[in-house]
Amino acid sequence: MSTAKPKHIGRNISRIRELKDMKQEALAIAIGTTQQSISIIEGSESVDDEKLKAIAEALGVPAEVIRNFSEEAVFNIIGNTYNDDSSSIKNYNCTFNPLDKLIEAIEKNEQLYERLIQVEKDKAVYLEKLLKEK
């Protein structure tokens, strides 16, 4: 006889939603319901499959992830991934130069600004042309 308690689907939804930094209200809007309904669902031990699929889609995870979610597994993954041992060298640095990204953004803004100026110049020429015709 198994003494394992059944998964609490509502609690799993709540934890995944929190890990994704999503409010109940945002989830409610995403699936077309109210925040109160989400609160009730998160308090429920089971959720019907259709609602579960909609919630899973809104959270961006498969329904099976919600059904089988385990905080212990999440902490095991984190614990096995992060190692503070200085003898084990890992590179967690950026794979790009942030200054290059900043320069790219500035150049894009300059190009956009130049296009906007050109549009304004074209508009002025067009308006002058209309005035001359009258």
Range 38-61 average pLDDT: 91
Backbone dihedral region for residue 90 (phi beyond 0: left; psi -120 to 50: alpha; all else: beta): beta
Range 9-30 average pLDDT: 90
How confident is the model over 60-114, as pLDDT tens digits? 888 888 888 777 666 665 555 555 555 455 555 556 667 777 788 888 888 888 9
**Nearest residue to 56 via CA among 43, 45, 69:** 69
Task: Say how many Å lie between the first and final Cα of the chain, rounded.
Answer: 94
Non-local (6+) Cβ contacts of 16 within 8 A are: 59, 61, 65, 66, 69
- The model's confidence at residue 124, banded by pLDDT at 50, 70 and 90, is very high
Tokens representing 131 are 């005035």
Tokens representing 133 are 């015709």
Q: 54 or 85: whose pLDDT is higher?
A: 54
